[in-house]
Structure 1
């Protein structure tokens, strides 16, 4: 059986979810990934050569009509899997379903309207993924034959089966990496490394981490941000953090465990906002698989995911965050136990094997 995954944009980090699902699905099915590029080529971390991405130009209307036709002609499958309820993925999937009577499955891993609240996006009708069109997609989820979601918030809102982000716990195995040599390579031998790995943005609480480290005033701690971009927000973080922060750019996905192996602690201090309310950051599973102690905020499903294997603070609680950071870094044996418990839970509940069981239960209906 062949599955076509439709991604609404192949150029940005939203492609990560399609990549993850494709990695699991390719174990049993033939897959292809198709979508527009609203940026410079394929998003670098997953442009690894593992998949051939069929791309079309991501442009404004009316020119995007040509891209829609190209995608429709490119789809050759038994089942369509549209990633996100966006017009340039799910919308095109609906058109193909009507045209060819193919089964259509929708995946929802964010509350998309939470990302489209500014006025410009509401009135910019030339944008194929504007607020209005995205709103219409959210109201049309009933047209999907099946729905998968990544969190309980999204399940309550849209129904469907939960397919957590998860990770390949064989590839993400701390025993495969030489932590000491990697730390020496990046000049981190003398430091306690507090790490954030992902795309920095305001709702992810990186400023809270910096302010927590400022309050601790410890010279032995470095805040390592892996995935930094060349933008104004990154410049702001550098200015705020000074010599307390070290920034490394985006990395190929296969190098993620290599960087995580250097960390003493991983932080995910998300804010409680429309952007994050339904979101489960995929990086929590990276850190769990690599047996890292994690501090996360009480947002979405993070408290349940880290129950018994992580520490939870209230969103924007800088004092609580600083206390947890200090505790983990000063109690190495307990930190190792927390990390070991996290990996054990990840293997059991959030590994590719666990995700595969859920996905095959859905897709085998259409084989």
Structure 2
């Protein structure tokens, strides 16, 4: 008799954070329920995503384009031995592989959808209607578009197969309305992210921020994340001790350099830090800013930066986009998206009565514990797996 039920978590690309962070949170929650959990996936880059800790139990297979990718699929199918297969994202390299394994093993498949993959390609407006000559090029040329395992045509196919999963988990209402399933919001380790364990003044001193009032964005800048709106707001306020601290920078492009060129006087850049150091970094903030703009991509997202701030009892300033108002409830500060004037007003209002704002931050921490902790995540997952 096996002592534990084993869950195999499939991530389509372990060279990036596109799926690993969600898989890691699910792994932590499932471990707390007593399940044995492994993470498997493909490497479509040269190395593992840098934030994956060396001690992590990860099995990887080199990814490639079609037709060689078929051999990669055969290799990973032999490695999947969980009693339950949990695919992260409706990607061919995760959900597609899980369905193949289900065909001959009869093992149940759970599909987790933490983002709308097609939104990055235009969403429902995207269509593939090539001429015959273009289709031949896309299929037969060495660099043909249809040789990419993550081509949007295959993503669309995967979306049409969502009903073949035995269960579906999602983490925003947008995704639930689109795909159905059970809501399992990202959980935060509220023991690690506990403000009682950190001293904000010491943290600010440690990271060279003692002289400043700190607006912190603990993530990778992208145009849709609205940092330009915060920087325009700082132009309007024009108080030199206010700084936007960006933690980590962009691994995707040079967008953060563009911000630096135009608004460098307001920006302080900090490097990437290991996950266990991030609470100490967040402790240095006076306000956490999550100024999402309203786009098809952001409506489907659950920004983890929200619960970073909530768990650390920080005032969180964000926008009315997607699930953000529901996540924060009455514990945060909300403005309309792409509205620097409102951001400027809220920043000034928060600093005029920082004690009141910090009291609201404590309410945010309790809300995070109740609704968005690893324990809350585990409780929902238990009911999902019990139904299988």
**TM tier relative to shorter chain:** over 0.9
Matched, 1:299 2:321: yes
Matched, 1:283 2:305: yes
Aligned-residue offset at 1:289: 0.5
Distance of 1:11 and 1:21 partners within structure 2: 18
Assess if the C-alpha contact under 8 Å between 1:86 and 1:137 holds in 2: yes
User: 2:151 matched to which residue of 1?
Assistant: 130
2:101 to 89, 96, 117: 96
**CA-atom RMSD in angstroms:** 1.7
Distance of 2:217 and 2:55 partners within structure 1: 26
User: 1:206 matched to which residue of 2?
Assistant: 227
Distance of 2:46 and 2:31 partners within structure 1: 26
Distance of 1:120 and 1:37 partners within structure 2: 27
User: 1:17 matched to which residue of 2?
Assistant: 22
Contiguous gaps of at least 5 residues in structure 1: none
2:117 to 100, 106, 112: 112
2:210 to 172, 189, 202: 189
User: 2:31 matched to which residue of 1?
Assistant: 26
Distance of 1:64 and 1:215 partners within structure 2: 52
Distance of 1:328 and 1:70 partners within structure 2: 55
Assess if the C-alpha contact under 8 Å between 1:103 and 1:145 holds in 2: yes
1:3 to 7, 18, 30: 7
Call closer, same or farther: CA 1:241–1:340 in 2, change over 3 Å. Answer: same
Call closer, same or farther: CA 1:58–1:199 in 2, change over 3 Å. Answer: farther
Contiguous gaps of at least 5 residues in structure 2: 129-137, 139-144
Assess if the C-alpha contact under 8 Å between 2:299 and 2:323 holds in 1: no
Distance of 1:148 and 1:108 partners within structure 2: 6
Matched, 1:240 2:262: yes
Distance of 2:330 and 2:277 partners within structure 1: 28
Assess if the C-alpha contact under 8 Å between 1:229 and 1:250 holds in 2: no
| Per-residue deviation, residues 255-301 of structure 1 (Å, max 9, x unmatched) | 22111000000111111112111111122111110101101111111
Distance of 2:245 and 2:227 partners within structure 1: 11
Distance of 2:226 and 2:127 partners within structure 1: 24
Aligned-residue offset at 1:120: 11
Aligned-residue offset at 1:39: 2.4
Distance of 1:349 and 1:50 partners within structure 2: 29
Distance of 1:146 and 1:220 partners within structure 2: 50
Aligned-residue offset at 1:302: 0.5
Alignment length, in residue pairs?
365
Aligned-residue offset at 1:195: 0.5
User: 1:350 matched to which residue of 2?
Assistant: 372
Distance of 1:248 and 1:241 partners within structure 2: 16
User: 1:228 matched to which residue of 2?
Assistant: 249
User: 2:162 matched to which residue of 1?
Assistant: 141
Aligned-residue offset at 1:179: 2.1
Secondary structure in 2 matching 1:246: strand
Assess if the C-alpha contact under 8 Å between 2:25 and 2:374 holds in 1: no
Secondary structure in 1 matching 2:210: coil
1:42 to 48, 52, 74: 48
Assess if the C-alpha contact under 8 Å between 1:210 and 1:223 holds in 2: yes
2:200 to 164, 168, 179: 179
User: 1:218 matched to which residue of 2?
Assistant: 239
Distance of 1:149 and 1:120 partners within structure 2: 23
Distance of 2:287 and 2:315 partners within structure 1: 5
Secondary structure in 1 matching 2:122: coil
Call closer, same or farther: CA 1:50–1:164 in 2, change over 3 Å. Answer: farther
Aligned-residue offset at 1:50: 4.5
Structure 1's consecutive aligned runs of 4 or more residues displaced over 4 angstroms after TM superposition are 118-123
User: 1:151 matched to which residue of 2?
Assistant: 172
Distance of 2:294 and 2:262 partners within structure 1: 22
Matched, 1:325 2:347: yes
Q: How does 1:62-77 map to 2 (within 5 A)?
A: 62-77=67-82
User: 1:309 matched to which residue of 2?
Assistant: 331
Secondary structure in 1 matching 2:334: strand
Distance of 1:86 and 1:306 partners within structure 2: 30
Distance of 2:107 and 2:235 partners within structure 1: 56
